[in-house]
Amino acid sequence: MRLVVLAGALVAGLVAGPLAGCTAPVSDAATPVATAPTDAATGAASGSPSAAPSSSPHDPAATATRSSSATPGSSPGPSTSATKKPAASRTVSPTTPSTTSATATAPRPGTALAAVATLTVKGRAPLTGYERSEFGQAWADVDRNGCDTRNDVLGRDLVAVAYKPGTRGCVVASGLLVDPYSGDRIDFLRGQGSSTEVQIDHVVALADAWQKGAQRWDAARRERFANDPLNLRAVDGPTNASKGAGDTATWLPPRKAFRCEYVARQVAVKSSYGLSVTAAERDAMRRVLATCPRQSLPTSDPVPGPGRAKQSGAAAEAKRAGAENPGGSGSATSSGASGSAGGGSVYYANCDAARAAGAAPVHEGDPGYSRRLDRDGDGVGCE
């Protein structure tokens, strides 16, 4: 009986041994399966090909790890290169058109538009200390021709001029003004209450000049500036009053056809005397002159001198009668210039005829003005 028990124990031992040996490989085989995803992830990140076989193709965890890790591993190279190339092209492309455009729109030398670029741009100084008397006696005879500046300018800008007797052809008694600012025709008659209907405008106002450099001048230079014919025009009184001391940025003539000539004269005066402009004023000058890029820069506008006004005496009366009665007959005013019955208008065959008659420049609305004389269409013929 004891032998039987011992034999049974021996058999049990022999059976348990092999069974224990069979479970060990199962436990050892599980270890690489558990570690395979980690190795596979590391291999994918480092680019090692040996890690891929260690993962089971049916293990979802391993598959997910390879997919997420492979994407960032391969993307940086191409994406960096793709961003750099467009950046280089964006830097180069905008500069070429802007240079070409600036060259194409550069103003022609000698024009008023080109001269704007030469003006000094500064802020407006205070008006402190300004008085009209700072610019000397009003309408002084600075050119020593025997006539005051106001009458010199009236004699230049009016037509059909008649002088007051006994003044040696200085004092303008009457005349006709075709106002360049409004286009209105104004009969000038010297006398209390009527003389102010025609005023002499400082194209660059004295107060504006004071704030932009004239306050540093000596008295002689200020007086010369206030009486410079280039800076003076006979104009409609109420229109001149509406201007005040305005510059190009704050006031322009209501008659648009005259704006180019007006602004060109402001540029010429400021350039000649070294007066500054504000940034807004410079921009306004450019806007106006961009519509007439060929507008020339005036250099002078001399007065005719005593007794030399346009069409004085009998010719003046004939011209005046034609202007007041456009339906009446006219008479020849000069070689190549004539009045026509029915229309009553003065006709100039060409600009030479207009100049010979003392009528140039001929403004739109003036007797004798025609588009044929005004080739650039700015409202001023025979400039």
| One pLDDT digit (tens) per residue for the chain, 383 residues | 444 444 455 445 544 444 444 444 444 434 444 444 444 333 433 343 333 444 443 444 433 334 343 444 444 444 444 444 444 444 444 444 444 444 457 888 989 999 999 999 999 999 999 999 999 999 999 999 999 999 999 999 999 999 999 999 999 999 999 999 999 999 999 998 888 899 999 999 999 999 999 999 999 999 999 999 999 999 999 999 999 999 999 999 999 999 999 999 999 999 999 999 999 999 999 999 999 999 999 999 999 888 888 654 444 444 444 444 433 333 333 334 443 322 334 667 678 777 877 778 877 777 777 766 877 777 788 88
d(CA 283, CA 358): 35
Identify the pLDDT of residue 3: 45
Identify the pLDDT of residue 69: 39
Identify the pLDDT of residue 248: 98
Task: Tell me how far CA of residue 262 lies from CA of 59, 120, 351, 370, 378, in angstroms.
Answer: 90, 19, 21, 20, 12
Whether residue 165 is preceded by a cis peptide bond, meaning omega within 30 degrees of 0, is: no
From the list 206, 201, 192, the residue with the least C-alpha distance to 129 is 206
Task: Tell me how far CA of residue 340 lies from CA of 46, 197, 337, in angstroms.
Answer: 103, 30, 10
Can you read off the two tokens belonging to residue 225?
Answer: 């500036």
d(CA 84, CA 257): 54
Find the Cα–Cα–Cα–Cα dihedral 165, 157, 191, 239, rounded to 10°: 180
Identify the pLDDT of residue 75: 43
User: Sign (positive/negative) of CA torsion 105, 106, 107, 109?
Assistant: negative
244 touches 205 (CB < 8 A): yes
- One-letter amino acid for residue 317 of the chain: E
378 touches 364 (CB < 8 A): no
Identify the pLDDT of residue 360: 83
337 touches 354 (CB < 8 A): yes
Can you read off the two tokens belonging to residue 97?
Answer: 């058109």
